[in-house]
Structure 1
Amino acid sequence: MAPTVALLAVALSASLAAGCTGHGRDDDHRAPHRTPAPTAPTAAGSPLAVKIDNVPAARPQTGLEAADVVYVEQVEGGLSRLMAVYATRLPRTVGPVRSARESDLELLRQFRMPVLAFSGAQHRLLPLIDRAPLRAEPPDEAPGAYRRDTGRAAPHNLYLRPAALLPSAPGGTALTTGFRYGPAPSGGTSASSRTVRYPAARFTFTWSAGRGGWVVAMDGTPTDTAGRGGPAPATVVVQHVRIRTSRYHDALGNHTPYTRTVGSGRAEVLRDGRSFDALWSRPTAAAGTTFTAPDGSRLDFAPGQVWVVFVPAA
């Protein structure tokens, strides 16, 4: 890292002091050099991925209802963090924005040169972000894209203006997730709700026929994204994955869980008020994830927003 960039990064570290638990410091808020933009226009097929805070002090979040896909991952202290991916529409504001994790780099490899908005990262992770096939846009690289909400306490008050990073939504072709959408399969079991628990966080998805989706509650409180009624994803995936301890840790010494999204395993797919057993497969980091029924047939998702919740495999 060049000396000038290093000085700016140190300044950013002080200004974006954050706590993974909501009251301590985040890993490190220095940001890498900007990865050179691709020669083709970014809007031609590169989605926007935003790391979003999910401790109680960060709620209600803004812009979640506009995401095409929301990934839920476990972080330090048994808490959770979100990654929202936008391709078909860009909301006016998204946030609160927080720091990136090592697992994000593997997860984002499925997209073509995605734009990653995040507040910073642990300093040892910065070189990996710099070399990853993505366009990193933290606040010190794109200061005009971010603002602080004076009505909230730091570090839960950093918000992104997506239009400052992408001129327009790239469209559905940018969602190279491997997901397939279509009519509901036969079978499954009736499901009115499903709760997923982390050591220090929980999510409950409750089917709403009126909204045609699963109403989200976090830690027992219904989600309300800044007065918009909260997201109600048409499909919720509970994906059982390998989660190991990474070599990176936060300022308090808590090691970051590494969520392995390449491989295969079990999953549960919730759609149309029913739960379907499934198997997931992602053979390489550059590939999307496919979901099949136990008989090997492709399992289609309901058209609309998808939430993927990563949980430890048994």
Structure 2
Amino acid sequence: MRTMRTGRAGRASGGGPGTGRRAVRARVRALAAAVACAALLTGCPGAGDGDGGGEQNGRSPFTGESVADASAPVLAVKIDNVAAARPQTGLERADIVYVEQVESGLTRLLAVYSSDLPPTVGPVRSARESDIELLRQFGEPALAYSGAQSKLVPVLEASPLHLVPPGEAPGAYSRSAERSAPHNMYLDPRAALREAPDGVSGASDIGFRFGAAPQGGRADTEEAVRFPAVRYAFTWSAEHDRWLVSIDGREATTTDGGRLGAPTVVVQRVEIRDSRFSDRGGSVSPYSETVGSGEATVLRGGRAYEARWSRPSAESGTEFTTPDGDPMTFAEGQVWVVLAPR
């Protein structure tokens, strides 16, 4: 079963004031945040609201679980997912795991941590343009990644994200001798947050709602999601009370032998188009559109529920509703969001 969450004693402390470009960016962000909060207090990261505001009710807005610090800093980590990178480390303790399409029809994972930081996460791989839009709903989170295509670097640096690649936080990364590069870079999440510029956003409402399952749905024990070169399967386990993950016909596990799975899996169907960038081999990087609206399937409790998703802007959270327009509720615990081709 998934490791029980114990929460965190408090927020990881930010690093000291930066120098050069990082310091300037930090000051600009701080000023912009102050102006925005003065103009619209309820829109400030961490303000929370009702059942979605973790800071007000002591529950994580990402998992619905009771945690020690419901507004701890948000760290997103880009994680490798080709066969040579499996099994991964630390995924079972993420609050949210996003599945994103990359070049050649493959996928990578974007794991979001706040309420529970493992000692190690990886293997860490490079960022993509669509990560910027996807992560804006978290405010200004920290993003850990191994690098990026050279033309994408200035776009990342101009974004509101707090970047912690190896060049900015060398002490947070290490290489494993048990795997070959590039599938052997690992991250110490606490060290990454210590090295991150000041002002990393805490967890706040991104649109998830937790509670009893809605009426209806169809009985379902296995749901498959296909990408051009990868196949995911989510199999309901009543014994473990979660959907167990398989990739390309094999059970997805962690390096300690545990099985990956989540109480809630969201298959969010999105438009996947070409981005402005390509990899070293010339393959164009896909861009998953996460602003807009569309259809989704929500898996929980051995049933599948048809739903709609809506996100009006990059700064907005993503709301999921039933066909009747009621909030679509998730089961408490880790959430997997599969950004599947529409």
Same fold (TM over 0.5): yes
Instruction: State the alpha-carbon separation in 2 of the partners of residues 145 and 180 from structure 1.
Output: 33
| Cα offsets for 1:138-173 (capped at 9, x unmatched) | 001100000000010000000000010236xxxx96
Number of the residue aligned with 1:213: 242
Matches within 5 A, 1:72-91: 72-91=99-118
8 Å Cα contact 1:34/1:141 also seen in 2 = no
Structure 2: which 5+ runs fail to align? 1-20, 34-45, 47-68, 195-200
Instruction: State the alpha-carbon separation in 2 of the partners of residues 270 and 261 from structure 1.
Output: 19
Number of the residue aligned with 1:308: 337
Aligned length: 277
Instruction: State the alpha-carbon separation in 2 of the partners of residues 231 and 34 from structure 1.
Output: 36
Instruction: State the alpha-carbon separation in 2 of the partners of residues 282 and 249 from structure 1.
Output: 27
Matches within 5 A, 1:1-314: 34=22, 36-37=25-26, 45-166=72-193, 174-313=203-342
8 Å Cα contact 1:237/1:308 also seen in 2 = yes
8 Å Cα contact 2:73/2:202 also seen in 1 = no
1:309 maps to a residue whose letter is V
1:105 maps to a residue whose letter is I
Instruction: State the alpha-carbon separation in 2 of the partners of residues 165 and 89 from structure 1.
Output: 14
Question: What's the RMSD between the two structures over aligned residues?
Answer: 2.0
| Cα offsets for 1:185-228 (capped at 9, x unmatched) | 11100010111111111111100111111000111110111124
Cα separation, partners in 2 of 1:175 and 1:63, compared to 1, 3 Å: farther
Instruction: State the alpha-carbon separation in 2 of the partners of residues 232 and 265 from structure 1.
Output: 25
8 Å Cα contact 1:196/1:202 also seen in 2 = yes
Instruction: State the alpha-carbon separation in 2 of the partners of residues 231 and 176 from structure 1.
Output: 25
8 Å Cα contact 1:148/1:159 also seen in 2 = yes
Deviation at 1:175, TM superposition (A): 4.5
Instruction: State the alpha-carbon separation in 1 of the partners of residues 206 and 149 from structure 2.
Output: 27
Instruction: State the alpha-carbon separation in 1 of the partners of residues 213 and 22 from structure 2.
Output: 43
Instruction: State the alpha-carbon separation in 2 of the partners of residues 173 and 51 from structure 1.
Output: 19
Deviation at 1:34, TM superposition (A): 4.5
8 Å Cα contact 1:97/1:159 also seen in 2 = yes
Instruction: State the alpha-carbon separation in 2 of the partners of residues 83 and 242 from structure 1.
Output: 18
Deviation at 1:99, TM superposition (A): 0.2
Instruction: State the alpha-carbon separation in 2 of the partners of residues 134 and 46 from structure 1.
Output: 12
Counting aligned pairs with the same residue, the percent is 57
SS where residue 123 of structure 1 aligns?
coil
Number of the residue aligned with 1:22: none
Q: Which aligned segments of 4 or more residues in structure 1 are displaced greater than 3 angstroms?
A: 33-40, 42-46
Number of the residue aligned with 2:11: none
Deviation at 1:177, TM superposition (A): 2.2
1:59 maps to a residue whose letter is R
| Cα offsets for 1:84-132 (capped at 9, x unmatched) | 0001110000000000000000001011210100001011111111011
SS where residue 76 of structure 2 aligns?
strand
SS where residue 96 of structure 1 aligns?
coil
8 Å Cα contact 1:87/1:175 also seen in 2 = no
User: TM-score normalized by structure 2?
Assistant: 0.78
Number of the residue aligned with 2:53: none
Instruction: State the alpha-carbon separation in 2 of the partners of residues 247 and 292 from structure 1.
Output: 32
Number of the residue aligned with 1:13: none
Deviation at 1:133, TM superposition (A): 0.7
Cα separation, partners in 2 of 1:287 and 1:147, compared to 1, 3 Å: same
Instruction: State the alpha-carbon separation in 2 of the partners of residues 73 and 165 from structure 1.
Output: 23
SS where residue 253 of structure 2 aligns?
coil
8 Å Cα contact 1:233/1:305 also seen in 2 = yes
8 Å Cα contact 1:34/1:137 also seen in 2 = no
8 Å Cα contact 2:141/2:202 also seen in 1 = no
